[in-house]
Amino acid sequence: MAILWSSRSTIATLSIFIIYLSFRSMLLSAAALEILSLPVAGPESNVFDLAGKGLYSSISDGIIVKYQGPNTGFVDYGYTTPNRNKSFCDGTNNTYLAPSCGRPVGLAFYLLTNLLYVADAAFGLVVVGPNGGAATQLATSADGVPFRFPDGVEVDQVTGMVYFTDGSAVYNLSQIDQLTSTRDATGRLLKYNPKTKQVTVLLSGLAGASGVAVSKDSSFLLVTEFVRTRIQKYWLKGPKANTAEVLLNLTGSPDKIRRTIRGDFWVAITVQTPTFALIGQRINGEGTILETLTFSPQFNTTLIAEVNEHKGALYLGSLYPMFVGVYRP
């Protein structure tokens, strides 16, 4: 399904900048920012399909859109709620309408089938078919506990297993302030088996479980905790299988984490000082920080949700701006 947005998509190149931060990693690289304008705010997650086409972005009114180039811009690709009312939902950025309109916040393709798995903050784990359109709901609870804030999602391209996070068993997307102020630690790391359709809880007691990424050899997962400002490593194979350890404590709050084609990982981190510093840190599976980039003030918002590398460019996600930021170092 592809319904054209009537938006005016533009790409504007801004000036090159070099800035330094005193984090554990070292020199920040220079980068140029491009803006891919959206019809609605909130491109929290961005992905590409098997052919490298897209990008696909999740936005605040319950739609997943696909970028068709600068002349066409973004078009509708899929939506997460089965009875979405376009006249009621189109254009909304009201998180309280998520139970009616949907709110996709995490995206991951299974490249073998071109199925797009979606963590929807209101509708749980859903999947959009290879031709787009309405999503199918897969899971809304685990071990009898309903999902309140599904956030990140990842597909192991080797096994087909789907890993995702639920940020809290108490607070939903509209209650992020309460989640952080109470330091809620009811989040979970979960696994969905497409063959058995079963959901398994891998880790519980997480404080703001946000992003999840699987290693290139499928031996471990990395999961971020936004509230505890850290990354945990959960072993899937080997002598430590089914156990977890703290991999890295961070200066700021990490949201999504994405693996690169090389096998390392980009983490989106919001550092709150008197202002907000929005950074990306590239790390390896041993917890070594390989690179740190700053995206503010050019990426002008108060939170960075995702840094996803594709063909040398970094695609930036957030809950708030009406554009996808694209950095080309």
In a domain? residue 233: yes
In a domain? residue 178: yes
pTM for the model: 0.89
The Cα–Cα gap between 249 and 191 comes to: 24
Q: The domain spanning residue 130 has which CATH number?
A: 2.120.10.30
pLDDT per position as a tens digit, 153-194? 999 999 999 999 999 999 988 898 999 999 999 999 999 999
In a domain? residue 22: no
**Domain containing residue 172:** 32-277+297-328
Residue 300: pLDDT band (50, 70, 90) is confident
In a domain? residue 15: no
In a domain? residue 7: no
What pLDDT is attached to residue 2? 33
In a domain? residue 10: no
Do 118 and 58 touch, CB atoms closer than 8 A?
A: yes
pLDDT per position as a tens digit, 14-68? 222 222 333 333 333 335 899 999 999 999 999 999 887 889 999 999 999 999 9
Residue 102: pLDDT band (50, 70, 90) is very high
In a domain? residue 23: no
Do 156 and 163 touch, CB atoms closer than 8 A?
A: yes
When comparing pLDDT for 6 and 101, which is higher? Answer: 101
Number of domains in the chain: 1
What pLDDT is attached to residue 29? 38
In a domain? residue 3: no
What single string gives the DSSP state of each residue in 137-192?
A: EEESEETTEE-S-EEEEEE-TTT--EEEEE--SS--GGGHHHHHHTT---EEEEEE
